[in-house]
Every structure is written in structure tokens, then in C-alpha cells.
Amino acid sequence: MTSVIFRAVAPFLTSLMVLFSIFVLLRGHNEPGGGFIGGLIAVSALAIYGIACGVETVRRAIYIHPMAISGAGLFAATIAGLISIAARVPFMTGLWIYPSVLGVEIPLSTVTLFDCGVYLVVVGAISSIALSLEERGGE
């Protein structure tokens, strides 16, 4: 894409969308949102960046190969289910801890870990498809 305006705006747009995707991911526990939709937003951010600045730039920017990201996500989701072995409750039971950091109580749970795993799987898998399609489209 040769538009100067688009290329100038794309980095800001991308960073904003990635930030928003993380917001949607974390909001997803009790309100609309979650890992899947958050992941899709992040992928669209990467796709926009790819359209503006080229696929190579995106690959360099995310540093890790997209498939490895989705592998890590799948691993995290599986581990989130397996943690309940230690608590002697069935597979995938939600477990919570409330550590307090700097006087603020932060609720952490295996559910959140699972959702982050879904987010990473979606980001990795869909962006790897999108990037390879963009690469071919540019030929």
C-alpha cells in the first residue's frame, strides 16, 4: 500500500488495537469479550500493519513465529486445566488466588490463564494464515 497517510497512521492504529484487544481479553471474564474475540482484534491489528508496511516488517516486529505463539497458547490452556490435579478437583475447575501487589488485590485464576491461552492460539493461528495470504497477494 503506497498511501502516505495510511502508512503514517498504521503503527499508532496497530498499537491501539493491540492494547484494546488485551482490554477485551481481560474484560471477558464477567462481561462480553474474551480470548477469542480479543485474539481476532489483535490479528486485525497485525493485518493492518502488514498491509501498510509489508509482511516482513510484521514478522520482524512480533519476533516469534506465529505458529510458535499458538503452540504456547495451546500449552498454556492445557496447563490451566491440569493445575486442578494439585487441588484434587476435576479437570478444568476454576481456581483462584488473590495475591496483593503494592496493596492492591489482584484476582488471578486458571480461567484467566485458559483465556490467555485461547487468545494466543487465535493470534498465532489466524495471523499465520493472514500473513501468508498477504505474502502471496503481494506477488
Partner 1 sequence: MAASTPSPADLSAALVLEPVASADWLVILPVAWCLAIGALLVMLRRQIDWHPYIAVLGLAGLVLIDVLLLRHVLASGPVTMVMGRWLPPFGIAFTVDLTGALFALTASVVALAGAIYSLADINDSGRRYGFYPFLMLLMAGVSGAFLTGDVFNLYVWFEVLLISSFGLIVLGSEREQIDGAVKYGFLNLVATTLFLITTGYLYASFGTLNMADIARKAEGLSGTAPLMTLTALFVLAFGMKAAAFPVNFWLPASYHTPRVVVSALFAGLLTKVGIYALIRITVMLLPLEREQLSFVIAVAGALTMLVGAFGALAQSDFRRMLGYLVVSGIGSILAGVAVGGPGGIGGAIFYALHSMLVMTALYFASGVAAKLGGSFSLASLAGLYRRHAGFAALTLMLCFAVSGLPPFSGFWPKVMLVKAALDIGAWWLAAALLVTGFLTTVVTGRFFLLAYWRDRADTTDTPHSVTISPAALLPLTALTMLVLAIGLYPELLLSTIQSAAAGLGEPSAYLNSVFPGGAP
> Do 10 and 49 meet the contact criterion of CB atoms below 8 Å apart?
yes
3-state class (DSSP) for residue 35? helix
Which 39-78 positions form the footprint of partner 1 (CB under 8 A)? 65, 67-68, 70-75, 78
Phi, psi at 96, each rounded to 5°: -125, 145
- C-alpha distances out from residue 47 to 31, 59, 80, Å: 26, 11, 29
CB of 60 to partner 1, least distance (A): 16
Question: Cell 498499537 sits at which residue?
Answer: 15
CB of 100 to partner 1, least distance (A): 18
Work out which of 1, 94, 106, 108 binds partner 1, going by CB under 8 A. 94
* Rounded CA separation 31/35 (Å): 12
Work out which of 88, 101, 103, 105 binds partner 1, going by CB under 8 A. 88
Work out which of 8, 9, 79, 106 binds partner 1, going by CB under 8 A. 79
Binding interface with partner 1 (CB under 8 A): 65, 67-68, 70-75, 78-79, 81-82, 85, 88-94, 96
